[in-house]
Amino acid sequence: MLAITLDNLAHRYNCLPSQALIHASTLDLYVLDVSSRWYKFQQDKASGAIDSQPRPSEIEMLKMVERVKKGITPGNGAIKK
C-alpha cells in the first residue's frame, strides 16, 4: 500500500518516488487521500455507480423520524398496531 501511495504522490508532484519519500509531509498524504477519494466519487457518480440524489437535510430527517415514531409511513399512511 505504501508503494502505491508513494507512486501516486510522486506522480502528482512530478518527481521521483524517492524524492517524494524524502520531502513529503503528512499534509501531502492527506491532500492526496482527499483528492483521490473526491476523484473516485465523481467518477462513480458520473457512471451511475452511486446515487447522485442529495441527502435529506437534518430537519427533513427529524421529520421522518417523527413520522416513524407516530406510526405513519409513506406507503400506507399508518402502521397498524
Residue 57 confidence (pLDDT): 92
**Is the per-residue pLDDT at 78 higher than 60?**
no
| 56 exposure class (CB count in 10 Å sphere: 0-12, 13-18, 19+) | exposed
Q: Summarize pLDDT for 12-54 with one digit per residue, the tens.
A: 889 999 999 899 888 998 999 999 999 999 999 889 888 767 8
**Is the per-residue pLDDT at 58 higher than 90?**
yes
Give the DSSP per-residue string, 42-67: HHHHHHTSS--SPPPPHHHHHHHHHH
Place of cell 518527481: 15
The domain limits of the chain are 2-52
Mean pLDDT value of segment 61-75: 83
